[in-house]
Amino acid sequence: MINIIQNEISKIFSRKKIYIFISILFIVALINLLNSLITRNLFASQDYGQTFPLLLFDSVASLVIPIFVVVLIASMVTDEYLDGSLKLTLLRKVSRNQLLLGKMGALFVVLFLLLLFLLIVGYTIGISFFGWGKVFLLKGKELSSSQGILFTLSVYTTSLLSYISFGMIILLFSVTIDNSGSVVALGLVTLISWVFIGEIFHKISPYLITDYFNTYNLFISNPSKEKIIFSFGVIFLYSISFYLLSFKIFNNKDLLK
Amino acid sequence: MNSNMIEIKKLNKSFKDKLIIDKLNLEVKKGDIFGFLGPNGSGKTTTIRMLLNLIYPDDGTIKINGYNIKKDFDKVVDNIGAIVENPKFYPYLSARKNLKLMANLISNLSNDRVNEVLKTVGLYNRADDKVNTYSLGMKQRLGIANALLNKPELVILDEPTNGLDPKGMKEIRDLITRLAKENNITFFISTHLLNEVEQICNRAVIIKNGKVISQGNVKDLINIDHEILEIHTEDGKKAYTYINDLSYVKNVKVTKQGIRVQIEKNKSDKLNKLLINKGIDIKYSIPIKQSLEEYFLKLINEGDKSD
Ligand SMILES: Nc1ncnc2c1ncn2[C@@H]1O[C@H](COP(=O)(O)OP(=O)(O)OP(=O)(O)O)[C@@H](O)[C@H]1O
Ligand SMILES: [Mg+2]
């Protein structure tokens, strides 16, 4: 299994896309920096370095990173199927299940690395321009520094899980639709409409995976245990059900390319 | 215990209600260089896809090395190397990197195996170029290199000389014969080129519209085990009824001049006598000479008429 994941990661890093993603994250970081510098001058607001990674995350969490997910999976699955290279792996001792799991494993690692990059850039820029700061202060919430770090890490990691979960929906599109443009389009439509629906109908939003892309709001509200379990339950259920469905379709599919 | 490398029984496959593979039976013995011969669209690639579990038969069984691949494909896949349709790779990677990724999926492979197969197919010096800069011939070789990577006992190649110039064709054919001899590899090679089968295969089947229309040792096929007689007579229809069911008669057609019969070798005297005994007035009986090429074309054309 590890070898399949290694191969997938190796392919991803041999292509341009991932470097474009990294550049985009870096540019977003610079825009955030500029923004913080300006508001600080205008309103004497006090952004501290230790909160900067979360600020940064907030600006990419609900659209930018999910779009990366859509594009990555479409190219890993649909593009490879269409250009005929998907079967290279299947003609080795790799089952269709292992292939899909390997690809999702690679997605996990790559997103992890992207988020790690964002975190490091966030702290580096934050500290160099604003100093570490006395306390963790964000949107009126005050935490000790160590609590702040923990809080930041929790938001980053739980969001990572929700991206994988969302990825399973895209995986379903990718094994069903033999056109990567359509997969991306459908993925974006799903993403945007779900975000939109979540904004309008607050009752439904906890059931939408898009609601967990930025778990900042969840953690900041001092959630009850039940609420946290429920959230993980939703993320988990999306993952499992969409994976199983994708696998079932892929396993029965005639691979004609 | 089992001398068959591949055993296909009553294989059926339709795409959208169109029957593509029609009760296909065939056997490939260990050590064969087996020719899978058929014109464009006859179902060669479709069959190969089924052999490799990429698509699933509607009906019938496929055994490789004694294992039913429906259940036990994972037990045989280690032992197979294959090219399906055109050799496909990750075009943005070098040949070496492509093979390294594949090697990473094979257990117990020596570190040097990638270089070995690159040398075998003569790509060692170009191994670090990206595959998207490769010519078709180079891709075919790389495909073969990839197929050899796991030291398979069975190598399945789909039109391995397709699109190559005569020199390239010869090199690939020589390579196949050499590998079969030196490494004891059984080859299953699809092609639409009759002379390719003549040159390298010991056994072959000819398919058309997903049906086997002829099979056997290539020597016998070349030595054609059938001959064709044009029998000129007024009683064509009558003659037809007498001989249509004879075991040595493969095919009869009523023509303008009489009948055209395809029969087993050295049976023409017997047939003529029989017809005379039945009171058919034979004007002429003309044996039609045919080369393997004609034979092949004729078989294929007959297939067309029966559509
Ligand atoms: N995905 C598909 N949907 C419908 N029909 C298909 C599909 N793939 C192949 N066919 C049909 O199946 C038949 C056999 O195709 P196949 O590719 O197996 O032939 P082939 O013998 O490999 O031909 P070639 O020499 O051109 O490679 C053809 O009539 C083709 O049109
Ligand atoms: Mg073909």
Interface test with B, best of A13, A93, A255 (most B CBs within 10 A): A93
Mutation pick for ligand 1 pocket among B24, B36, B44 (CB with most ligand atoms within 8 Å): B44
B146 touches A at CB < 8 Å: yes
Give me the pLDDT at residue B224, please: 63
d(CA A203, CA B265): 84
Q: How confident is the model at residue B226 (pLDDT cuts 50, 70, 90)?
A: confident
Give me the pLDDT at residue B295, please: 66
Nearest Cα residue to atom 9 of ligand 1: B46
Which secondary structure element, helix H or strand E, spans residue A34, and what is its range?
Answer: helix A16-43
Q: How confident is the model at residue B99 (pLDDT cuts 50, 70, 90)?
A: very high
**Residues of chain A by 3-state class (helix, strand, coil), percent to 5:** 80, 0, 20
Give me the pLDDT at residue B306, please: 42
B284 touches A at CB < 8 Å: no
CA distance A191 to chain B (A): 30
Nearest Cα residue to atom 1 of ligand 1: A256
Which tens digit of pLDDT belongs to each residue from A84-107? 999 999 999 999 999 999 999 999
d(CA B77, CA B67): 11
Share of chain A above pLDDT 90, in %: 62
CA distance A4 to chain B (A): 7
Interface of B with A in 84-113 (CB under 8 A): 84-86, 88-93, 97, 101-102, 104-107
Q: How confident is the model at residue A227 (pLDDT cuts 50, 70, 90)?
A: confident
Whether residue B157 contacts residue B187, with contact meaning beta carbons closer than 8 Å, is answered with: yes
Which tens digit of pLDDT belongs to each residue from B177-219? 999 999 999 999 999 888 888 889 999 999 989 999 888 887 7
For the residues B140-150, what does the mean pLDDT come to? 95
Whether residue A166 contacts residue A107, with contact meaning beta carbons closer than 8 Å, is answered with: no
Residues of B in contact with A15 (CB under 8 A): 92
Of A174, A140, A157, the residue nearest A231 (C-alpha): A157
Inter-chain CB proximity B80 and A6 less than 8 Å: no
Give me the pLDDT at residue B302, please: 64
Q: CA A200 → CA A196, A197, A205, distances in Å?
A: 6, 5, 8
In this model, does residue B64 exceed pLDDT 60?
yes
Of B37, B39, B31, B62, the residue nearest B49 (C-alpha): B62
In this model, does residue B14 exceed pLDDT 90?
yes
In this model, does residue A218 exceed pLDDT 80?
no
Inter-chain CB proximity A254 and B53 less than 8 Å: no
Inter-chain CB proximity B54 and A252 less than 8 Å: no
Q: Write the burial class of residue B136 (CB in 10 Å: 0-12 exposed, 13-18 middle, 19+ buried).
A: middle
Q: Give the best-scoring range by mean pLDDT among B117-131, B229-243, B264-278, B283-297.
A: B117-131
CA distance A11 to chain B (A): 8
Of A83, A146, A153, the residue nearest B139 (C-alpha): A83
B20 lines ligand 1 (CB under 6 A): yes
- Chain A's closest residue to B15, CA to CA, is A254
Q: Any idea which of A136-145, B94-103, B209-218 has the lowest mean pLDDT?
A: A136-145
For the residues B287-301, what does the mean pLDDT come to? 66
Ligand at shortest distance from the CA of B44: 1
Mutation pick for ligand 1 pocket among B21, B46, B47, B157 (CB with most ligand atoms within 8 Å): B46
**DSSP per residue, chain B:** ---EEEEEEEEEEEETTEEEEEEEEEEEETT-EEEEE--TTSSHHHHHHHHTTSS--SEEEEEETTEEHHHHHHHHGGGEEEE-SS----TTSBHHHHHHHHHTTSTT--TTHHHHHHHHTT-GGGTTSBGGG--HHHHHHHHHHHHHTT--SEEEEESTTTT--HHHHHHHHHHHHHHHHHH--EEEEEES-HHHHHHH-SEEEEEETTEEEEEEEHHHHHT-SEEEEEEEES-HHHHHHHHTT-TTEEEEEE-SSEEEEEEETT-HHHHHHHHHHTT--EEEEEEEP--HHHHHHHHHHHHHHT-
Share of chain B above pLDDT 70, in %: 92
Interface test with B, best of A10, A81, A92 (most B CBs within 10 A): A92
For the residues B75-87, what does the mean pLDDT come to? 93
Which tens digit of pLDDT belongs to each residue from B243-274? 888 888 888 888 888 898 888 878 888 888 88
Nearest Cα residue to atom 30 of ligand 1: B41
Residues of A in contact with B82 (CB under 8 A): 91
Give me the pLDDT at residue A44, please: 58
Inter-chain CB proximity A93 and B54 less than 8 Å: no
For the residues B213-237, what does the mean pLDDT come to? 79
d(CA A92, CA B65): 17
Edge-first strand listing for the sheet containing B59-64 = B18-29, B4-15, B59-64, B67-68
Give me the pLDDT at residue B307, please: 40
Residues of B in contact with A91 (CB under 8 A): 52, 77, 80, 82, 84
In this model, does residue B82 exceed pLDDT 50?
yes
In this model, does residue A81 exceed pLDDT 60?
yes
In this model, does residue B291 exceed pLDDT 60?
no
A256 lines ligand 1 (CB under 6 A): yes
For the residues A106-119, what does the mean pLDDT come to? 96
For the residues A1-10, what does the mean pLDDT come to? 95
Which secondary structure element, helix H or strand E, spans residue A150, and what is its range?
Answer: helix A145-176
Q: CA B14 → CA A81, A173, B113, distances in Å?
A: 21, 25, 40
Residues of A in contact with B95 (CB under 8 A): none
